Amino acid sequence: MSPETNKPDKYLLYQNSVQNPVYEVNFMRRVYRKIRGRSPLLLREDFCGTAVLACEWVRMVRGGRAVGVDLDENTLQWAAENNIARLGSKAEGVELACCDVLTAANYESDIVTAFNFSYCVFKEREILLSYFRKVHETLSSAGIFFLDLYGGPDAQVIQEESREVDEEGLRFSYVWDQADYNPVTGETACHIHFDLPGGNRMERAFSYDWRLWNLPELKDLLREAGFEKIDVYWEGTDHSTGEGNGTFRVSRKGDDSRSWICYLVATR
Ligand SMILES: C[S@@+](CC[C@H](N)C(=O)[O-])C[C@H]1O[C@@H](n2cnc3c(N)ncnc32)[C@H](O)[C@@H]1O
């Protein structure tokens, strides 16, 4: 709860409905070990927001350290007071940098992440390319870049979809609102609302002004930025429901689902 308003805190609602840091730490360690034959230690979480992934990294990885980069000072303050403060003696393993990912210092990293499609804030090809070049430069010689993407025909439709969440004593609905899509530029405007018990809506708790890139464009840009190999990890299907089953494997062919999420793994 936020002490000022007595309403649930929007960052807590976000973390409990959008993020799954334990899954992502396990996924990245598995993929990194498979490719490099050793365990990664240094994580840089770009667009880190509340740095929940960076915190989970130092909690789960023995000897692991993490840097979270974000340009929003208030979000980073929340991260420090909540997620990092809860790490106890491991808190010193997480550093926060309040700056643009395009100009951030070159922290040596085994892994860099750009999750929840945050790089889509870069709408110009040249700017996204300069970001990917910067990531390439900051990674150690055995470094790996992990990012995700969503797509499919439904990603270009103006619509709201909601799902119930019941986590850590919080019950609410998460609403993903695709408010605008421009096929000429690929730009999309999306919002997250939270429907709270008692019929109250936390309207536009988070808003995004993005370009919806597609997979071949991203693969070309990553290659141009210097990455040697780019793998796409596609989600398997639960045949009883027809929905994604939460297991992502390297794939050279996706499927024609109306909406999908995948990971890209770019190897230096
Ligand atoms: C979609 S949130 C991602 C939060 C979290 N990483 C996740 O996976 O859910 C996007 C975050 O990117 C940050 N951001 C946007 N543009 C940025 C930039 N150019 N440099 C650094 N951070 C940026 C915003 O402040 C926001 O916290």
The number of the ligand 1 atom at minimal distance from the alpha carbon of 100 is 20
Give pLDDT, residue 163: 95
- Longest CA–CA span in the chain (Å) reads 53
Nearest residue by C-alpha to atom 25 in ligand 1:
72
Nearest residue by C-alpha to atom 27 in ligand 1:
49
Give pLDDT, residue 1: 60
Nearest residue by C-alpha to atom 14 in ligand 1:
47
Give pLDDT, residue 3: 52
Give pLDDT, residue 4: 55
Nearest residue by C-alpha to atom 13 in ligand 1:
47
The number of the ligand 1 atom at minimal distance from the alpha carbon of 208 is 1
Sheet holding 159-167, edge to edge: 159-167, 170-182, 187-196, 200-211
The answer to whether 178 and 159 are in contact (CB under 8 A) is yes
Stretches in the chain below the pLDDT threshold 50: none
The answer to whether 44 and 109 are in contact (CB under 8 A) is yes
Model's pTM, two decimal places?
A: 0.95
Q: Ligand 1 in contact with 20 (CB < 6 A)? A: no
Count Cβ atoms below 10 Å from residue 30 Cβ, excluding itself: 10
- The HSE-up count of residue 55 (CA atoms within 13 Å, CB side) is 22
Give pLDDT, residue 244: 86
* Per-residue pLDDT tens digits for 43-53: 999 999 999 99
Q: Ligand 1 in contact with 47 (CB < 6 A)? A: yes
* Per-residue pLDDT tens digits for 78-124: 999 999 999 999 999 999 999 999 999 998 899 999 999 999 999 99
Give pLDDT, residue 241: 85
Q: How much distance in Å is there from the Cα of 49 to the middle of ligand 1?
A: 5
* Residues 236, 191, 8: CA angle, nearest 5 degrees: 95
* Helix axes of 21-36 and 52-60: crossing angle, nearest 10 degrees: 60
* Strand ranges in the chain using DSSP code E only, listed in sequence order: 42-46, 65-70, 94-98, 109-114, 139-151, 159-167, 170-182, 187-196, 200-211, 229-238, 243-250, 260-267
Nearest residue by C-alpha to atom 22 in ligand 1:
70
The number of the ligand 1 atom at minimal distance from the alpha carbon of 45 is 6
Q: Ligand 1 in contact with 146 (CB < 6 A)? A: no
